[in-house]
Structure formats: C-alpha cells, structure tokens
Amino acid sequence: MYEGLVIDVDYLLNAVQELKISFDRKLKTLNLLIEKNIPIVLYSENNKEYIDSIMKHLRVKEPAIIAGGAQIYSPFEKAYEEMIPLSINTVCQLGNWASNQNLDAIISTDRAVMNYGAWAKDLKETTYIGIRSKFSNVVKIEIYIRNDDKRIEFLNFIGKNNLECSPHMYLNHVSCINYMVDKGNTLKYLAKRKNWNIKKFAVLGDHYRDASIFDEVGYIMSISDFVKDFQNNFEIDSDMLNIV
C-alpha cells in the first residue's frame, strides 16, 4: 500500500476522457483518500490558475508542482511555495525573438499570466524608477510556433546565444523553463520539506514525459491499477462502490 499519491492532472483528465470514465467519480475517490490523510501531490504543465480550478473540486491539502516543475504552488501553505525562475536576460531575448518573428509569447510569472509585451512594458517602467518589477519572476515563457522549420530556427537561436533555458515541444507551442529544472528534484525538495518517504508514494502519469518523477517514487499506477488498489486496501461500503 502506498503512503502518498503523485498525480499528473493533465494525464488524468485526458485518460478519463479517452476511457469515458466519470471524472466526478475519480474526484470523489481521491477525496476519500484525502479524508484518510493520504498526501496527494498534483503536478501539471499548466499554471496556478489551472490548478486553482482543479482544487475547487478536489479537497487536496498539499502543494502542487506546476510550470513544468519550475514552481511549487499552494493556495493553503504559502511557506512551502518555491520557484526556479528564468533570468530576465533570457526572457527578454526569447520574447524579443518572438516579437521579431510576429509570434505570440505568453509569460507565466509567480503572480500572473500575461503576454510578453505587457511584461516587458512593466519591466521597463519599474526599472526606470529603480524598483524591481513585480512581474520579473518568470517561471515559464511559451512561444506559439507550429512550423517545424521555425522551431528549428528557434532552437538554434537558443543554442547560439547560450540561453539558460530548457525548451519543451508541444503541439501548438514551445515552452521554455529554467534549464536547471527537473520535476523529480522538485518533488524531492517538497518531500524533504514535508518529511515524506516518496519511495512509498505512487505516481499516476505519463512515464515518457515525466521520467524524472517516476524515477523517484516507488510505485507506478495506471487508472485501472488505482481503482483496484483502492478497492483492495480500503473498507468499501455500498456508497463507495458507486463512486469507484
């Protein structure tokens, strides 16, 4: 039996949709685990607003790992929040390249999500009056590129200028985070703060995309494994059977 659960929210949402499983039932099942004080850590490529929308339905108590692992976010336990931002120089070079190519660039900071132009304007104005910009802590920048040749050009630009970022390819965009970010290390950092033994945790997610997290936890689960394990390890009454 695992002592905690690490869940890729993006994977879970896609899986329940493809398998035509009731997402509401899965939320109720997870909430039953939470009631039994089993830690559940959510992680996502998305931002904190996305996690907030999930947490409205899931009564999770633990911080979440977001922005590709570059940020630990919690609306409940601020003391555990942490982030690994991109340097301002790197953000400016990436954003300016996108602007010169007439491509959209979206910035995710520790406080907000905005387009690159708004962030750069704020940075220029606050730097001018000698105050550090409240939007300068950028955890992720997304450049909306679909053309393969343009993507190669973008990667060459990063390499040629020795920019300290790690690009991740998606269908509609390229996401850049701090090159030192590793989701597994981020999970280990949180586990150390929380005094968890993550070798006794299980993970529900995409191994191909998040190998570093899978290397740190002791158990790997599919959606069906999760349901079977729940049924085998908890006393289930008739109401619970209707949920799982």
Token code pair at residue 4: 């905690």
User: 189: number of CA atoms within 13 Å, CB side?
Assistant: 19
Phi, psi of 84 (to 5 degrees): -120, 90
What are the C-alpha distances in Å from 15 to residues 8, 88, 141, 244?
A: 11, 37, 27, 15
- Look at residues 155, 178, 201 and tell me which one is the last residue of a structural domain: 178
Q: Are residues 108 and 170 in the same domain?
A: yes
pLDDT at position 243 is 37
CB of 216 within 8 A of CB of 43? no
CA 25/CA 13 separation, integer angstroms: 12
Tell whether the model's pLDDT for residue 29 goes beyond 70: yes
Residue with tokens 């690490």: 6
DSSP 8-state code for residue 198: G
Q: Are residues 138 and 163 in the same domain?
A: yes
Q: Number of structural domains, the chain? A: 2
Percentage of residues in the chain having pLDDT higher than 70: 83
CATH number of the domain that residue 225 is part of: 3.40.50.1000
Burial 198-219 (b: 16+ CB within 10 A, else e): beebbbbbeeeebebbbebbeb
Token code pair at residue 125: 């104005």
Tell whether the model's pLDDT for residue 241 goes beyond 50: no
Q: Are residues 219 and 193 in the same domain?
A: yes
pLDDT in tens, 30-47: 888 888 889 999 999 888
Q: Are residues 98 and 170 in the same domain?
A: yes
CA 196/CA 178 separation, integer angstroms: 26
Q: Are residues 79 and 97 in the same domain?
A: no
- Look at residues 152, 178, 204 and tell me which one is the last residue of a structural domain: 178
Token code pair at residue 65: 């790992």
Residue type, 198: I
Q: Are residues 37 and 94 in the same domain?
A: no
Q: Are residues 77 and 97 in the same domain?
A: no
Tell whether the model's pLDDT for residue 154 goes beyond 90: yes
Tell whether the model's pLDDT for residue 229 goes beyond 90: no
CB of 76 within 8 A of CB of 64? no
pLDDT at position 231 is 59
Residue type, 66: I
CATH number of the domain that residue 130 is part of: 3.30.1240.10
Q: Are residues 58 and 103 in the same domain?
A: no
Least confident among 51-60, 110-119, 143-152, 159-168: 51-60
Q: Are residues 110 and 73 in the same domain?
A: no
Token code pair at residue 21: 């499983």
Q: Are residues 116 and 237 in the same domain?
A: no
Q: Are residues 78 and 92 in the same domain?
A: no
Least confident among 124-138, 176-190, 227-241: 227-241
Residue of higher predicted confidence among 98 and 235: 98
Q: Are residues 186 and 174 in the same domain?
A: no
Burial 140-167 (b: 16+ CB within 10 A, else e): bbbbebeeeeebeebeeebeeeebebbb
Mean pLDDT of the 88-100 span: 96
- Look at residues 178, 198, 221 and tell me which one is the last residue of a structural domain: 178
Q: What is the pTM of this model?
A: 0.80
Average confidence score pLDDT of the chain: 85
pLDDT at position 110 is 82
172 CB contacts (<8 Å, ≥6 apart)? 144, 146
Which residue segment(s) compose the domain that 123 sits in? 88-178
